[in-house]
Amino acid sequence: MPELPEVQTVANHIKPYVIGKYVLSINPIWDKVLDNFHHQDIKGRNKILDVTRRAKFIIINFEKFLIAVHLRMTGKLYVLEGTDIPKHTSAIMELESGEKLIFEDTRKFGRIYKYDDLMLINEKHGPEPLEDDFTSEWLLTNFKSRKRNIKALLLDQSFLSGLGNIYVDESLWASNIHPNSISCYIPKKKIIILHKNIREILSESIEQLGTTFISFTFLNGQSGNYSNELKIFGKQGAPCIKCSNTIEKIKVAGRGTHVCSKCQKIHK
């Protein structure tokens, strides 16, 4: 599930259930899940002050530290209903209220981190695409100063936070830019359009509670509806809605990539 809109949706969803409550412990079920700390480092009862998002991390804020949860490919974070612990549970956070916050992760790539503050995460991540410091001027300057494959660059979290395979493909298609373009050769006009499209697509997806696929319902019957809005991702073989050319699936930057070769021009 996990690009910016999905992570934001999870953080928004969990927040009202846990805010103001006390965490007693974090139990690793899969032994590698706690990346940079030991479960015994969590002492006593710790009050959850807030649940937020930075990049693709869900940030659980406590008074003296924070817990950052990265869902990677298949992670899910939710308050358990009932008593059966799901098969692929990676970790369980026990609340004083008796509730359990479950980190379920089929492929076990997800990790939980403990930090004093956001410093270390901020150092390794680019701007938030929906914040004011992500401007078209910034994007222009930083595209021109690099000579990189555009898709690889947009996926690079140290460059820009939060985009993943779905939203990069959608943003590039909306901007008529081929994913094999080189950043410094993309015309200014298209960079400005791309900037606008990234923000619009992410905002719209957050409103729709993100993209989830048919087989996965979110929680309490809620599911993300942005899957209905996808224009290019997963549409290989179908006609492009702008030009009716057949959408292809190719490999770019090591990832499956959806492209309309008629609409999307290669700048290189």
Partner DNA sequence: CCATGAACCTGGTCGC
Partner DNA sequence: TGCGACCAGGTTCATG
Least distance in Å: CB of 140 to DNA?
15
The interface region with DNA, picked from 14-22, 44-52, 89-97, 147-155 by CB under 7 A, is 147-155
218-237: contacts with DNA (CB under 7 A): 224
Does residue 22 contact residue 219 with C-beta atoms inside 8 Å?
Answer: no
x/- track of binding to DNA for residues 235-264 (CB under 7 A):
------------------xxxx--------
The interface region with DNA, picked from 37-45, 46-54, 160-168, 189-197 by CB under 7 A, is 160-168
171-210: contacts with DNA (CB under 7 A): 182, 210
Does residue 187 contact residue 267 with C-beta atoms inside 8 Å?
Answer: yes
d(CA 237, CA 245): 9
Least distance in Å: CB of 28 to DNA?
13
Interface with DNA includes 166 (CB under 7 A)? yes
Interface with DNA includes 16 (CB under 7 A)? no
Interface with DNA includes 39 (CB under 7 A)? no
Least distance in Å: CB of 152 to DNA?
5
Interface with DNA includes 87 (CB under 7 A)? yes
Interface with DNA includes 122 (CB under 7 A)? no
Which residues carry out catalysis?
A: 2-3, 56, 255
Nearer to DNA, 221 or 254 (CB): 254
**Binds DNA by CB under 7 A, chosen from 49, 73, 85, 241:** 73
d(CA 149, CA 210): 26
Interface residues with DNA (CB under 7 A) are 1-3, 6, 32, 55-56, 70, 72-73, 87-88, 106-109, 124, 146-149, 152-153, 155, 157, 164-166, 182, 210-213, 215-216, 224, 253-256
